[in-house]
């Protein structure tokens, strides 16, 4: 559980204020990197990653987590055309939202069809040769809206952004023009994206917890 840091501390008789930050986490981006790094991506690990993004001179105002609930619905299999039912629960998002200082922003997961597990396909393919193709919609828009809101209300001094989506660039520009700072977080096995670095004030390299 996140332990609240004091908003200020004293040193030599002077009061030193901590920088107040909002940590914005693109869940799909972090999940893909965590699984590639053989990490167990669960609620506690998400919280540990969020806290690891905070520097020693910062205090957390809020952690905002952006993701989609698992897809639910009935579709036809690609070869046999028999029905396939996707069933899942969004309880984990509800549980994450209940954690201290966390807020969850939900996008929508769209089913875009089926794609081959490997190419080229063998002669006479079966349903087992395909996997579902999903697309997240609305996550980057929600990140941008929250960044714009922080810029307008000035509730924080700094935005700490953990995302690999260049669609965040316009929001990053707006935040900096409003006088807030932007930190771009890089994880060990993540690809450094120049466009995100160009529009951030700092790059922060964070190790896996």
- pLDDT for 10 equals 47
What is the share, in percent, of the chain residues with pLDDT greater than 70?
A: 92
Domains of the chain in start order, with CATH, are 19-68+86-108+135-205 (3.40.50.1010)
What confidence category does residue 53 fall into, taking pLDDT thresholds of 50, 70 and 90?
very high
pLDDT per residue as tens digits for the range 166-208? 999 999 999 999 999 999 999 998 888 999 999 999 999 999 9
Q: Does the CA dihedral 169-175-181-185 come out positive or negative? A: negative
- pLDDT for 15 equals 46
- Say if residue 101's pLDDT is above 60: yes
Within the chain, what is the greatest distance between any pair of CA atoms? 78
- pLDDT for 54 equals 96
- pLDDT for 4 equals 52
- pLDDT for 13 equals 55
The number of CA neighbours under 13 Å toward the Cβ of 166 is: 7
- pLDDT for 122 equals 76
Q: Which one, of 142, 148, 155, 195, lies nearest residue 176 by Cα?
A: 148
Asked whether the beta carbons of 200 and 161 are under 8 A apart, the reply is: yes
- Say if residue 6's pLDDT is above 70: no
Task: Give the integer Cα–Cα distance in Å for 37 and 194.
Answer: 22
pLDDT per residue as tens digits for the range 103-116? 999 998 898 999 99
pLDDT per residue as tens digits for the range 123-170? 889 988 899 998 888 899 999 999 999 999 999 999 999 999 999 999
Give the pLDDT mean for 12-41. 87
- pLDDT for 150 equals 96
Q: How many CB atoms lie within 10 A of CB 4?
A: 10
Beta-strand relationship, 14-17 and 158-162: unpaired
Structure-token match 């893909």, residue found: 32
């Amino acid at each position: 559980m996140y332990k609240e840091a004091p908003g200020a501390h004293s040193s030599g008789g002077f009061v030193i204020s901590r920088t107040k930050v909002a940590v914005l986490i693109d869940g799909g981006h972090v999940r893909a990197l965590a699984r590639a790094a053989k990490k167990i991506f669960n609620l506690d690990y998400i919280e540990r990653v969020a806290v690891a993004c905070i520097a020693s001179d910062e205090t957390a105002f809020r952690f905002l987590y952006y993701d989609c609930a698992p897809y639910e619905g009935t579709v036809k299999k690609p070869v046999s055309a028999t029905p396939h039912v996707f069933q899942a629960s969004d309880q984990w998002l509800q549980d994450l939202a209940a954690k201290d200082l966390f807020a969850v922003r939900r996008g929508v997961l769209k089913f875009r069809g089926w794609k081959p597990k490997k190419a080229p396909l063998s002669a006479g393919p079966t349903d087992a040769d395909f996997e579902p193709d999903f697309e997240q919609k609305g996550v980057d828009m929600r990140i941008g809206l929250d960044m714009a809101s922080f810029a307008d209300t000035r509730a924080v001094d700094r935005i700490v952004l953990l995302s690999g989506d260049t669609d965040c660039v316009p929001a990053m520009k707006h935040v900096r023009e409003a006088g807030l700072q932007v930190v771009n977080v890089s994880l060990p096995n993540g690809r450094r994206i120049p466009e995100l670095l160009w529009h951030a004030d700092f790059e922060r390299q964070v190790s896996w917890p």
